[in-house]
Structure 1
């Protein structure tokens, strides 16, 4: 495969990954904001505590989506390691997300329902960048490729779990 073809294949895989991450993240965002507003308006729980509850619920939803949709083709051998790292990086994301809301609410006194939602959303946006990088780099590791070019970067033309042997042996396609 040419260098340009390799670059194109990597870019295509990254774009698919970003789209899947975004889809799961979008569902997580809806869950997070819905739980936040429900807890905030149905109880007397302070704004940042309501946000923490909502973030924890969204983290649980997101793990299921990331493991079984976005990163379903990634290494599944170290589930304890995976879940530990997921929780560690999720807690860092939780601190980023809720730190923005805390600063806006208690640092600047911006505590109307609209302001709460704007800064909750802003915190989620900042934390999402961190989560995307950490989850794809450390938590849901790519399986090693059968074809390693001289530069050391893995190149794959098919999903990591697809077995090319049956198709190559003339057993038909799946």
Structure 2
């Protein structure tokens, strides 16, 4: 339980850095100077900001949060990490889309609540589960052998 709490706190710290990158870039793209460069394209702005945050969080999680867990190859880890972040992004985009285009709510407060509070919270729960399960799995077996272990190839007759 202690390890899970420590891991959760590290996940939150790295996620916090990603969150700052995400909301900072999202708001700069939408609202800097009143109307940002992507003011009329909130879904594009969110996609760009989440992509930047994903790069930051992958590095942090691999180097710190889950460093004690089994490491899968980069060739498998990167695609999975980006796939699961893509699903998390889809969750946030769905919330932002629903708020903007179904409820007709727009502006800094509405966009940030839908994308960066509701959408991000739901996406984070999904990402934490998927990272622990698929990208940084727990060791299924100890990596050290004891003196009582007998190699499978030695058959004493």
Question: How do 1:73-152 and structure 2 match up within 5 A?
Answer: 73-121=68-116, 122-146=118-142
SS at match of 2:119: helix
Number of equivalent positions: 140
Question: How do 1:1-174 and structure 2 match up within 5 A?
Answer: 11-42=1-32, 43-45=36-38, 46-121=41-116, 122-146=118-142
SS at match of 1:105: helix
> What is the rounded CA distance, in whole Å, between the counterparts of 1:57 and 1:28 in structure 2?
8
Q: Is the 8 A contact 2:69 2:136 kept in 1?
A: yes
Tell me by how many angstroms 1:80 deviates: 1.1
> Normalising to structure 2: TM-score of the pair?
0.82
Tell me by how many angstroms 1:77 deviates: 4.4
CA shift digits 1:109-140 (9 cap, x unpaired)? 11011111111121111100000000000111
5+ residue gaps, structure 1: 1-10, 147-159, 166-174
> What is the rounded CA distance, in whole Å, between the counterparts of 1:139 and 1:36 in structure 2?
27
The two structures, once aligned, show a CA RMSD in angstroms of: 1.8
Tell me by how many angstroms 1:145 deviates: 3.6
